[in-house]
């Protein structure tokens, strides 16, 4: 009995993902029509390379949104992680990377304490922490008199290198991470609890779950993923300035929403988010190809998110 | 008969006091905090005078409008992440149309800009109501749209707001201690008080307080939410015009700061993000507090870069105190 | 309950409201197949039906919250179809729901303004409901639920409706307030206006109502006069073919059990709850009888770790325990089934995830799940409770009774020693109710301890071995189930001594 039930859920989820993938293919087709021959292996490679930082950043966002929260500090954390990594690079690459990732974990933990222990609304907590992170980073950058630090070669290779000519190196990080997250959300106790908390916090408590532990771990994980995304991004653009990832904040939420994760929590998947991130990246590529000015690009970008979200809500009939 | 939890006797005065404290305590505390900060400022900078006060009111004016705009929507149980870009849009529209004209022409332009951006706000609300997509997603998306439009209207920061129009906010017509920037704030009660007393205003609170009960009380949920977004657009337009008056510049990228700081101000101002609870007095005071912090840092000789950090820490502390209350009550 | 009043319905007054052939679909689900309802002017008309029979859909259609797919409604002879609640309100149709619809963050006065309610009339009805001198500046957020229900009722009455719908309003009212509501309803009738009364409590229906329309599976299956021995017929109509089965299973109060002590409560104090001491044994169902708000919520919350006690001890297996979190209570084997099913369930998640939730409730269980083992355990529980999972995967698509079963199944899988059932059958139809009580008895027979509060006193004897009675936060009486008939419980729950107590004790 319940087998049928579960497979029915899967079917609906998969169907919506099929729709999203179809959209992705349609966008690629559009590019091919605009400029025949443009969609080739190196284009795909490029798309994957640019989608990777967004995809990883949106991974953290997905985890938080599933619990019914939102993390508005992901971009600030990514920026800070990359900047601190770069500024620590002269003392050794390992130390630099660890320092960068640590930034993410620490900020994530503070977010987690605020949300889980002090019951602060996630929107507010992460917004405020975003301000704290950016403010602190400004102060730090003035103290570290050095000019904008360079990105170590390893990170540069991670962010923009390719293997066999076409396979981006970042894919070797992103793909295993994606598999881990997709399986983890579906098949581990921790994953179950994220959905449970997003659905009904009080019910989850009544079932004997200490919600703060789950949330704390989850926000820390989100912080860590944001830091990873920041490092990859700094490798992709080969720089780490004070506004590195700022532009990715809104897309990180948009990718999650387009991917079908409910902003109210309790349902969704990372596979959807991946497709969402790819759609946004391809969309950007289409607009660039059309030589659309940045301002118009922004307007179209916004309009398309509205249309996608509306279509999605209509199709799945959430009430 | 058994006694029940129903209290029937008229309550003693003490209860009423407790109730007043519960309802208005936070607002009073915010004003007390503002007063305390002012006292500290004057202690640090003994020659604090009307000039500094004027500077503060100028800095706080756009933020106060941003906060009030956000409050409108939050009271209705929503959130608008496009308040900043709406302000930027009003700001650049005003610059584009006013450039090189006189005061009267500028005032007409201002009215038109108010109308346009109010409509933009209403459009936010209409999309949310019609598509049923969560407000946070829609306004996130429309924030791109308004910011893009602002960039289309004006590609880069450009000065040129007519001086006479600027002086509406910059001067001190009556007394150096009553700068015009303070008087411009009167737009808020002029709109808010009649609204709050009307059925439409009550309906906005109702929708934010409990949607189901509001529906059963005969409130038209869609129109009430739309109205909240439209009024939010109006106040955002005021904020954009305030930005024009206080800086004299059209800045297409002003947006992000005001969205985030606006939300900060309403949290500090005691508006419940869950909707239905709060007023306009708190957020306005909070806007002043947030604008005062960088000034104090400068007087203290501290790097104003700490300002953002302190603003963040202040919000964290405020909300954690609020949260701590909940935690302790449970224990 | 009070004596059945002898007001015969007006002989042949014209129908005030006539609804016929109402149909409503929600996607593939049929909520109403063919509902007919005829309410005369000046009568109190009950609307009865098991859960999912279509009562609330019918009410929503009558009040304009939903529109019917087919069928007609006439009010006072005119064809009507309301597109909104305010339109229905304008025509004199108004509904008071179980959960009050006053806005928590507007003052009562503002609430009245919002709904354009005349204030003098509102005040007059407040006095009649025993709330004279009420401060209109109060915010509903600050008020207790029974008060809110009365305010909501007074607000509805103030517009002098032609037809007043009371949707389970008495479910959250203590007995004394229920009486006041009844008096007002009779007064409305005396003025020639009509009331539609919806309640699961047969006693209330037969005390108050002139006629009753019974719905089953979205269809009107009969109209009965409850006062003239119609109760049995109503039950039969509501249950349909199952009725005979249930009737056969007569209530036979169980004897006190003599198992080992499961939980010992000593001098417990929390909120209104004061110095409560009792023991709960393995193998018994201990009933808690109390009117609304006498400390039973506090008692259950303390035992379940939802709130902390101010003083006193809770001993489990002879050891004193401190519960700071439901997790602590669960480890000690105490699990809670709350009255509000949705408080305990994940509505968007599958039945399976809901039932398996306790299996992942510790950090040590955060790792990979053994899917096959989990499935086996869940299916066993589903089978044992006969949960109907055909409908849909998501728990929100299940009926109320099935949802409550999912809440119980969770602990069959998760494991427990003591079950704390807080009004587990609130708003559940009779058939499912019996099933749940049957299960509770079965669990006790299997060696578990059960603490059971139910707001419906007659049900105590259905399931319990022994009863404790709370009044004003104190434990005022204890009796074996055999003596705990409704009359005895009612007296005790109102803080009165048992009639023959003095002589017997002496």
Residue among C95, C104, C176 whose CB faces B210 most closely: C104
Q: B127 is written with which tokens?
A: 């999309």
Q: pLDDT: is C304 or C144 the higher one?
A: C304
| Interchain contact A135–B (C-beta under 8 A) | yes
User: Residues A11, A17, A20, CA angle at the centre, nearest 5°?
Assistant: 150
Residues 6+ apart with CB under 8 A from C389: A1, A2, A5, C351, C382, C398, C402
Q: Which DSSP helix (H) or strand (E) runs through C361?
A: none
Is residue C11 over pLDDT 50? no
Q: C333 is written with which tokens?
A: 């084997």
User: Residues C363, C364, C365, CA angle at the centre, nearest 5°?
Assistant: 90
| Interchain contact A203–C (C-beta under 8 A) | yes
Interface test with A, best of C326, C340, C387, C389 (most A CBs within 10 A): C326
Quote the CA–CA distance of A17 and A258 in Å, as a whole number: 10
Residue C256: band (very low, low, confident or very high) from pLDDT cuts 50, 70, 90? low
| Interchain contact B206–C (C-beta under 8 A) | yes
> What integer pLDDT is reported at residue C203 of this predicted model?
79
Question: CB–CB of C361 and A199 under 8 A?
Answer: no
Quote the CA–CA distance of B45 and B51 in Å, as a whole number: 13
Q: Are A214 and A190 in contact (CB under 8 A)?
A: yes
| Interchain contact A237–B (C-beta under 8 A) | no
Lowest mean pLDDT among B3-12, C62-71, C269-278: B3-12
Residue among B1, B5, B203 whose CB faces C114 most closely: B203
* CA neighbor of C423 nearest in space, from C328, C486, C344, C356: C344
Q: B178 is written with which tokens?
A: 């009553």
pLDDT in tens, B136-173: 889 988 998 999 999 999 999 999 899 999 999 988 88
Q: B117 is written with which tokens?
A: 């951006």
| Interchain contact B175–C (C-beta under 8 A) | no
| Interchain contact A138–B (C-beta under 8 A) | yes
Q: Are C237 and C221 in contact (CB under 8 A)?
A: yes
Question: CB–CB of A204 and C346 under 8 A?
Answer: yes
Question: CB–CB of A120 and B323 under 8 A?
Answer: yes
Q: Are B122 and B233 in contact (CB under 8 A)?
A: yes
Lowest mean pLDDT among A304-308, C89-93, C359-363: A304-308
Question: CB–CB of A139 and B309 under 8 A?
Answer: yes
User: Residues A150, A153, A159, CA angle at the centre, nearest 5°?
Assistant: 95
Beta strands in chain B (DSSP E): 158-159, 249-250
Work out the minimum CA distance from C384 to partner chain A, whole angstroms.
14
Residue among A120, A138, A139 whose CB faces B319 most closely: A120
Terminal-residue alpha carbon distance, chain C: 30
| Interchain contact C411–B (C-beta under 8 A) | no
> Which residues of chain B have a CB within 8 Å of the CB of A135?
305-312
Equal fold, C15-244 vs C261-357+372-495: yes
Q: Are A90 and B281 in contact (CB under 8 A)?
A: no
> What integer pLDDT is reported at residue C501 of this predicted model?
47
| Interchain contact A213–C (C-beta under 8 A) | yes
Q: pLDDT: is B202 or A300 the higher one?
A: B202
Quote the CA–CA distance of B58 and B169 in Å, as a whole number: 8
Q: Phi then psi for C13, rounded to 5 degrees?
A: -70, 150
Judged by CB atoms within 8 Å, which residues 44-103 of B form the interface with C?
Answer: none
The domain limits of chain C are 15-244, 261-357+372-495
Question: CB–CB of A318 and B311 under 8 A?
Answer: no
Chain mean position to CA B319: 18
Secondary structure class of C213 (helix, strand, coil):
strand
> Which residues of chain B have a CB within 8 Å of the CB of A319?
132
Residues 6+ apart with CB under 8 A from C225: C9, C210, C211, C212
Lowest mean pLDDT among A7-21, A26-40, C145-159, C441-455: A7-21
Residues 6+ apart with CB under 8 A from C179: C2
* CA neighbor of A116 nearest in space, from A107, A128, A125, A129: A125
Is residue A120 over pLDDT 50? yes
Q: Are C353 and A203 in contact (CB under 8 A)?
A: no
Question: CB–CB of B218 and C292 under 8 A?
Answer: no
Work out the minimum CA distance from A304 to partner chain C, whole angstroms.
28
Question: CB–CB of C360 and A9 under 8 A?
Answer: no
Judged by CB atoms within 8 Å, which residues 421-480 of C form the interface with B?
Answer: 471-472
Q: A312 is written with which tokens?
A: 């999605």
> Which residues of chain B have a CB within 8 Å of the CB of A250?
140, 143-144
Question: CB–CB of C389 and A193 under 8 A?
Answer: no
For C393-406, give one letter per residue: b (16+ CB within 10 A) or e: bbbeebbbbbbbbb
Question: CB–CB of A302 and B320 under 8 A?
Answer: no
Q: How many Cβ pairs within 8 Å bridge chains B and C?
A: 102
Question: For the domain with range B52-317, which CATH number is right: 3.30.70, 2.60.40, 1.10.10, 1.10.3470?
Answer: 1.10.3470
The mean pLDDT of C428-443, rounded to a whole number, is 83
> What integer pLDDT is reported at residue C250 of this predicted model?
41
Neighbours of chain B (3+ CB pairs under 8 A): A, C
| Interchain contact B6–C (C-beta under 8 A) | yes
pLDDT in tens, B266-324: 888 988 888 888 899 999 999 999 999 888 888 888 877 787 788 788 878 877 776 66
pLDDT in tens, A35-53: 888 888 989 999 999 999 9
The domain limits of chain B are 52-317
Please state, for a pLDDT cut of 90, what percent of chain C lies above it: 34
Question: For the domain with range A39-316, which CATH number is right: 1.10.3470, 1.10.1060, 1.20.5, 3.40.50?
Answer: 1.10.3470
> Which residues of chain B have a CB within 8 Å of the CB of A73?
none
Neighbours of chain C (3+ CB pairs under 8 A): A, B
Interface test with A, best of B141, B147, B271, B324 (most A CBs within 10 A): B141
Chain mean position to CA C317: 33
For residue A182, how many other CB atoms are within 10 A of its CB? 17
Residue tagged 């797919």 (tokens): C69
Residue of chain C nearest A217, judged by CA positions: C363
Question: Across chain C, what does the average pLDDT equal?
Answer: 83
For domain C261-357+372-495, give the fold.
Answer: Rossmann fold (3.40.50)
> Which residues of chain A have a CB within 8 Å of the CB of C326?
205-208
Question: CB–CB of B2 and C471 under 8 A?
Answer: yes
Question: CB–CB of A9 and C350 under 8 A?
Answer: yes
Architecture of domain C15-244: 3-Layer(aba) Sandwich (3.40)
| Interchain contact C85–B (C-beta under 8 A) | yes
Work out the minimum CA distance from B150 to partner chain A, whole angstroms.
8
Quote the CA–CA distance of C115 and C136 in Å, as a whole number: 15
């Amino acid at each position: 009995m319940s087998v049928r039930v579960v497979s029915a859920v899967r079917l609906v989820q998969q169907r919506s993902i099929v729709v999203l993938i179809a959209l992705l293919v349609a966008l690629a087709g559009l590019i091919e029509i605009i400029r025949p021959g443009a969609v080739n292996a190196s284009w795909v490679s490029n798309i994957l390379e640019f989608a990777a930082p967004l995809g990883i950043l949106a991974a953290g966002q997905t985890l938080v949104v599933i619990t019914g929260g939102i993390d508005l500090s992901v971009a600030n954390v990514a920026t800070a992680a990359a900047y601190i990594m770069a500024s620590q690079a002269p003392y050794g690459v390992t130390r630099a990377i660890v320092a960068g990732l640590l930034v993410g974990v620490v900020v994530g933990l503070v977010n987690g304490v605020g949300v889980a222990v002090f019951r602060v609304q996630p929107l507010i907590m992460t917004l405020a922490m975003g301000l704290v992170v950016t403010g602190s980073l400004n102060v730090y950058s003035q103290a570290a008199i050095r000019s904008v630090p360079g990105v170590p070669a390893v990170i540069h290779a991670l962010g923009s290198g390719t293997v066999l000519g076409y396979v981006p190196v970042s894919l070797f990080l992103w793909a295993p991470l994606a598999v881990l997250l997709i399986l983890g959300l579906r098949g581990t106790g921790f994953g179950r609890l994220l959905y449970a908390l997003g659905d009904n916090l009080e019910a989850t408590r009544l079932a004997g779950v200490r919600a703060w532990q789950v949330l704390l771990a989850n926000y820390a994980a989100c912080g860590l993923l944001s830091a990873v995304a920041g490092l990859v991004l700094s490798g992709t653009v080969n720089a780490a300035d004070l506004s590195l990832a700022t532009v990715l904040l809104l897309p990180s939420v948009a990718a999650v929403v387009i991917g079908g994760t409910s902003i109210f929590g309790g349902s969704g998947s990372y596979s959807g988010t991946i497709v969402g991130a790819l759609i946004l990246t391809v969309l950007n590529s289409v607009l660039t190809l059309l030589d659309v000015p940045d301002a118009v690009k922004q307007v179209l970008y916004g309009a398309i998110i509205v249309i996608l979200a509306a279509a999605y809500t209509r199709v799945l009939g959430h009430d | 008969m058994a006694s029940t939890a129903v209290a029937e006797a008229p309550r003693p005065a003490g209860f009423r006091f407790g109730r007043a404290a519960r309802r208005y305590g936070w607002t009073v505390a915010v004003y007390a905090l503002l007063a305390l900060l002012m006292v500290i400022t004057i202690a640090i900078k003994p020659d604090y005078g009307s000039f500094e006060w004027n500077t503060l009111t100028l800095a706080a004016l756009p933020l106060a409008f941003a906060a009030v705009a956000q409050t409108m929507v939050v009271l209705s149980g929503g959130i608008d992440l496009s308040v900043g870009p709406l302000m930027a849009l009003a700001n650049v529209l005003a610059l584009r149309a006013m450039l090189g004209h006189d005061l009267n022409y500028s005032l007409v332009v201002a009215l038109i800009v108010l109308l346009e951006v109010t409509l933009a706000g209403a459009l936010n609300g209409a999309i949310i109501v019609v598509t049923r997509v969560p407000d946070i997603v829609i306004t996130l998306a429309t924030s791109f749209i308004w910011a893009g439009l602002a960039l289309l209207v004006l590609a880069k920061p450009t000065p040129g707001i007519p001086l006479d129009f600027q002086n509406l906010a910059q001067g001190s017509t009556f007394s150096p201690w009553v700068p015009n920037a303070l008087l411009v704030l009167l737009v808020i009660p002029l709109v808010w008080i009649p609204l709050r007393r009307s059925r439409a205003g009550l309906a906005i609170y109702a929708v934010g307080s409990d949607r189901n009960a509001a529906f059963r009380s005969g409130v038209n949920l869609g129109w009430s939410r739309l109205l909240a977004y439209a009024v939010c657009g109006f106040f955002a337009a005021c904020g954009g015009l305030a930005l024009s008056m206080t800086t004299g510049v059209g800045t297409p990228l002003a947006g992000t700061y005001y969205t985030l700081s606006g939300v900060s101000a309403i949290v500090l101002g005691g508006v419940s993000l869950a909707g239905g609870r709060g007023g306009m007095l708190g957020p306005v005071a909070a806007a002043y507090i947030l604008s005062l912090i960088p000034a104090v840092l400068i007087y203290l000789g501290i790097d104003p870069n700490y300002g953002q950090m302190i603003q963040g820490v202040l919000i964290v502390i405020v909300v954690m105190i609020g949260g701590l209350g909940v935690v302790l009550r449970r224990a | 309950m009070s004596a059945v009043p002898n007001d015969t319905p007006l002989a042949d007054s014209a129908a005030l409201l006539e609804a016929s052939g109402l149909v409503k679909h929600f996607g593939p689900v049929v909520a109403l197949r063919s509902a007919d309802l005829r309410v005369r002017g000046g009568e109190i008309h009950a609307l009865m039906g098991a859960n999912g029979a279509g009562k609330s859909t019918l009410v929503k259609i009558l009040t304009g919250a939903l529109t019917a797919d087919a069928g007609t409604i006439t009010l006072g002879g005119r064809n009507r179809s309301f597109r909104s609640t305010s339109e229905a309100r304008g025509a004199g149709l108004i509904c008071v729901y179980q959960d009050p619809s006053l806005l928590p963050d507007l003052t009562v006065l503002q609430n009245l303004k919002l709904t354009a309610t005349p204030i003098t009339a509102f005040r007059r009805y407040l006095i009649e409901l025993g709330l004279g001198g009420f401060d209109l500046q109060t915010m509903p957020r600050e008020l207790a639920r029974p008060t809110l229900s009365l305010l909501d009722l007074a607000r509805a009455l103030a517009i002098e409706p032609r037809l007043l719908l009371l949707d389970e309003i008495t479910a959250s009212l203590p007995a004394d307030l229920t009486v006041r509501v009844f008096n007002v309803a009779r007064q409305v009738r005396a003025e020639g206006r009509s009331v539609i009364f919806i309640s699961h409590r047969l006693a209330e229906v037969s005390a108050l109502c002139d006629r009753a329309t019974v719905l089953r599976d979205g269809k009107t299956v009969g109209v009965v006069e409850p006062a003239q021995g119609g109760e049995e017929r109503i039950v039969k109509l509501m249950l349909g073919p199952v009725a005979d089965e249930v009737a056969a299973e007569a209530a036979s109060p169980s004897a006190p059990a003599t198992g080992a002590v499961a939980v010992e409560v000593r001098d417990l104090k929390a909120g209104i709850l004061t110095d409560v001491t009792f023991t709960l044994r393995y193998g018994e169902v201990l009933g808690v009888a109390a009117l609304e708000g006498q400390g039973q919520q506090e008692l259950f919350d303390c035992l379940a770790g939802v709130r902390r006690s101010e003083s006193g001890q809770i001993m489990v297996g002879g050891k004193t325990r401190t519960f700071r979190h439901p997790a602590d209570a669960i480890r000690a084997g105490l699990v809670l089934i709350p009255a509000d099913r949705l408080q305990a369930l994940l509505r968007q998640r599958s039945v399976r995830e809901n039932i398996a939730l306790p299996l992942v409730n510790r950090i040590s269980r955060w790792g990979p799940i053994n899917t096959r083992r989990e499935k086996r355990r869940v299916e066993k529980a589903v089978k044992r409770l006969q949960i109907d999972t055909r409908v849909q995967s998501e728990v929100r698509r299940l009926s109320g009774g099935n949802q409550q079963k999912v809440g119980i199944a969770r602990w069959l899988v998760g494991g427990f020693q003591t079950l704390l059932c807080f009004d587990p059958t609130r708003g559940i139809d009779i058939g499912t109710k019996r099933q749940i009580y049957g299960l509770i008895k079965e669990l006790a027979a299997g060696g578990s301890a059960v603490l059971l509060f139910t707001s419906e006193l007659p049900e105590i004897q259905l399931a319990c071995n022994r009863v404790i009675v709370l009044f004003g936060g104190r434990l005022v009486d204890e009796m074996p189930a055999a003596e705990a008939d409704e009359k005895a419980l009612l007296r005790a729950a109102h803080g009165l001594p048992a009639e023959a107590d003095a002589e017997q004790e002496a």
